[in-house]
Amino acid sequence: MRDGDADRVYVTRAELVDVPASWSVVSSKELAKGNITTYLQDVVTAPNGEEVTREYLYHPGAVAILVLDDELRVALVRQYRHPVRHKLVEPPAGILDLEGEDYLTAAQRELAEEMGLGASDWRVLVDFFSSPGMASESLRIYLARGVSAAAAPEGFLREGEEAEMDAVWAPLEDLVDAVLCGDVGNPNVVVGALAAWVAQHRGGFDALRPANAPWPSREALKEATLPD
C-alpha cells in the first residue's frame, strides 16, 4: 500500500453518477426577472439543520451541436458575448425556451438557423451543467454528421449578436489544440471538442448514445427548480 492510500475512498464505475437531491427550501425570493433567466434567492436547510442562503440564476437549459464533416472538420460560429466582453468561438447552440419542443428538434432547428445546415446522423455527445455553483443551466451537446444544406425555418430573422456572427470550419485536431492552449474558452466548445476527441479515439462515434437517449439530470432539475 502506498503512503496515503488508507485515507482514500475508492468507488466503482457504477458509483460514478450524479444523484438528484434537493435540500428543503425554507423560503424562495425572486430578486430579478429577465427575458431568459430569473435571479433567485433560496434559504435552504442542510442535512445537519443549518440554514444557508443561496442565490442563483434559473435558466431554461440549452442544446449545442458539434458538427463534423467527412474530413473531421467542425462547424463553428464566432459570436459576441457581452458578459465576458469577447467574441467567442462556439458550436451552434440555442436555448430550450419553446414549451414542449423536443431536445433533438431544438438542436436541428438551431443548426438550420445558425449555419444553414442539416445532418443525417445525430448522437448525444455529452450532457453537463454549465456553472452549477451559480446557475441551473443544463446543456446537451449533440454530435451531427452527414452534413447537408438546410433552409432556416420560415420567418427566422437574425437579430442582436446573431446578426453579427460569422460561420467558419476548422479541423477537430486544431480545435482541441486551441482548447488545450487556452485560446478558446466557451464551455460548449471546450466540452464538445474534448468529448469528440475522446469518442473518436475510444470506440468511435457510432458508440455514442443515440440522439433520443434519456436526459435524467435535466428532467430531475426541471422538477426541482422550475419557477411557478
Which CATH number goes with the domain that contains 132? 3.90.79.10
Query: Per the residue annotation, which of 90, 154, 161, 162 is the catalytic one?
Result: 162
Are residues 12 and 79 part of one domain? no
The pLDDT of residue 1 is 47
Mapped onto helix, strand or coil, the DSSP state of residue 193 is helix
Domain that holds residue 191: 62-221
The pLDDT of residue 3 is 61
Are residues 105 and 39 part of one domain? no
Are residues 68 and 48 part of one domain? no
Q: What are the CA-CA distances from residue 66 to residues 53, 114, 135, 146, 147 (Å)?
A: 37, 13, 23, 12, 11
Are residues 38 and 82 part of one domain? no
Active site (annotated) includes residue 162 = yes
Are residues 200 and 97 part of one domain? yes
Are residues 31 and 125 part of one domain? no
Count of the separate structural domains present in the chain: 2
Mapped onto helix, strand or coil, the DSSP state of residue 197 is helix
User: Is 147 within a domain?
Assistant: yes
Residue whose grid cell is 430569473: 38
Are residues 36 and 21 part of one domain? yes
User: Is 226 within a domain?
Assistant: no
Are residues 33 and 11 part of one domain? yes
User: Is 228 within a domain?
Assistant: no
What stretches in the chain show pLDDT beneath 50?
1
